């Protein structure tokens, strides 16, 4: 069954109603409706953003097709369906191919297109802070966000990437198509001790530490100690704003970033693909901050 709550923004005289949605499971933690509400305001359009908490893969496919063919302009896709979204679409944008997963589906000339706007979100989050010394990076996890992280790091000049995983066999199988897209040398390891001792960046691309499990640290968290003094630690989680992993990184005097700006940039870029209206992500970040202070 499809359930959900709606966020409406109908303050403007433009007649078209932009319809967007988010599909994933579970979705209790999502900030996306708040972000889209600000995007609709900033763009001066009427918009609706619906949440679809979909428990099975079969229902995921069915729901995407139904919504896209019944007036939805675009669908954000999140955990655990980003890889399914990539395979569902007939056309795939270049970032989606490089990342082998998609976080946005939309119709172009009646054909479903898979896009990866997380790529730009993460790139914008880290590109000015990432300093290349060892050229090595570690990514915790091997799902959609981990693949996107690897593609971004590869394009920013990292030449050795370690995927740190809990189940080597499953991860090697899952990543077999992905690693071939990267210029960097790729190592998939279970044991954190097999990772290079000097890292320019560590990224947590697993949900470990996300609300409500805020005390949790991901497998491989001890790699914090391998990050160079000028290096950075990124947690793609945005709720809580500072995960346990980021707290430890801050105590080690490392640069830290959470996933909020990435989330905002991916939402803005998704909206721009269908609305052809430019939005400044920093404006949305400010508005979200102010809305949080007021509530």
Q: Which residue, 8 or 87, is less far from ligand NAP as judged by CB?
A: 87
Sole binder of ligand NAP in the list 66, 167, 185, 230 (CB under 6 A): 167
Q: Decide: is 112 part of the binding site for ligand NAP (CB under 6 A).
A: no
Q: How far is the CB of 278 from ligand NAP (least distance, A)?
A: 20
Query: Phi then psi for 103, rounded to 5 degrees?
Result: -115, 5
CA distance 105 to 113: 6
> Looking at 34, 82, 244, 269, which residue is catalytic?
82
Q: Which stretch binds ligand NAP (CB under 6 A): 33-41, 140-148, 244-252, 282-290?
A: 140-148
CB 191, min distance to ligand NAP, A? 13
Whether the Cβ atoms of residue 138 and residue 199 lie closer than 8 Å to each other: yes
**Which ranges of 129-251 would DSSP assign to H, the alpha helix?**
144-155, 168-175, 244-251
Which region among 32-40, 67-75, 233-241, 245-253 touches ligand NAP (by CB under 6 A)? 233-241
Determine if 107 is a binding residue for ligand NAP (CB under 6 A): no
240 forms part of the interface with ligand NAP (CB under 6 A):
no
* The 91-92 sheet, strands edge to edge: 6-9, 46-53, 17-24, 74-77, 104-108, 111-115, 91-92
Residue among 236, 246, 254, 268 that touches ligand NAP (CB under 6 A): 236
What is the C-alpha separation between 103 and 39, in angstroms, rounded?
18
Q: Closest CB to ligand NAP belongs to which residue?
A: 143
Under 8 Å between Cβ of 7 and 260: no
Specify whether the CB–CB gap between 124 and 145 falls below 8 A: no
166 binds ligand NAP (CB under 6 A): yes
Half-sphere exposure of residue 166, counting CA atoms within 13 Å on the CB side? 8
**Contact residue for ligand NAP among 23, 150, 161, 237 (CB under 6 A):** 237
- Closer residue to ligand NAP (CB): 46 or 235: 235
Residue 170 annotated as catalytic = no
By the 8 A CB rule, do 249 and 240 touch? no
The bridge status of strand 111-115 relative to strand 104-108 is antiparallel
The pair of structure tokens assigned to 94 is 């270049």
Among 80, 135, 192, 240, binds ligand NAP (CB under 6 A): 80
Q: Which of 33, 74, 143, 281 binds ligand NAP (CB under 6 A)?
A: 143
DSSP one-letter string for 40-101: HHHHT-EEEEEEEE--SHHHHHHHHHHHHTTT--EEEE-TT-HHHHHHH-SEE-HHHHHHT-
Grouping H, G, I as helix, E, B as strand and the rest as coil, residue 18 is strand
Q: Determine the size of the site formed for ligand NAP (CB under 6 A).
A: 29
34 binds ligand NAP (CB under 6 A): no
Given 219, 240, 247, 277, the residue binding ligand NAP (CB under 6 A): 219
Instruction: Report the interface residues with ligand NAP, using CB under 6 A.
Output: 79-80, 82, 118, 121, 140-146, 166-167, 170, 205-208, 210, 218-219, 236-238, 259, 262-263, 266
Just list the catalytic residues: 82
């Amino acid at each position: 069954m499809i359930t959900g709550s709606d966020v409406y923004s109908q303050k403007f005289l433009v007649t078209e109603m932009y319809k967007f949605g988010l599909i994933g499971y579970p979705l209790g933690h999502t900030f996306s409706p708040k972000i889209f509400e600000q995007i609709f305001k900033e763009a001066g359009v009427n918009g609706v953003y619906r949440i679809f908490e979909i428990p099975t893969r079969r229902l995921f496919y069915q729901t995407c097709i139904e919504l896209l063919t019944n007036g939805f302009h675009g669908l954000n896709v999140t955990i655990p369906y980003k890889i399914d979204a990539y395979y569902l679409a007939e056309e795939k944008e270049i970032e989606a191919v490089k990342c082998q997963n998609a976080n946005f589906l939309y119709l172009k000339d009646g054909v479903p297109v898979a896009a990866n706007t997380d790529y730009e979100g993460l790139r914008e989050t880290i590109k000015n802070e990432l300093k290349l010394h060892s050229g090595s990076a570690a990514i915790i996890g091997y799902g959609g966000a981990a693949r996107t992280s690897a593609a971004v790091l590869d394009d920013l000049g990292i030449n050795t990437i370690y995927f740190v995983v809990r189940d080597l066999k499953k991860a090697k199988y899952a990543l077999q198509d992905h690693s071939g897209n990267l210029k960097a040398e790729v190592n998939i390891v279970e044991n954190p001790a097999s990772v290079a001792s000097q890292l320019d960046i560590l990224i947590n691309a697993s949900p470990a530490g996300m609300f409500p499990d805020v005390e949790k640290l991901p497998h491989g968290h001890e790699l914090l100690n391998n990050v160079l003094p000028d290096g950075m630690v990124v947690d793609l989680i945005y709720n809580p704003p500072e995960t346990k992993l980021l707290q430890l990184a801050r105590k080690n005097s490392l640069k830290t970033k959470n996933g909020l700006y990435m989330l905002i940039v991916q939402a803005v870029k998704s909206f721009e693909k269908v609305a052809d209206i430019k939005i400044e992500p920093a404006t949305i970040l400010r508005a979200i901050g102010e809305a949080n202070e007021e509530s």
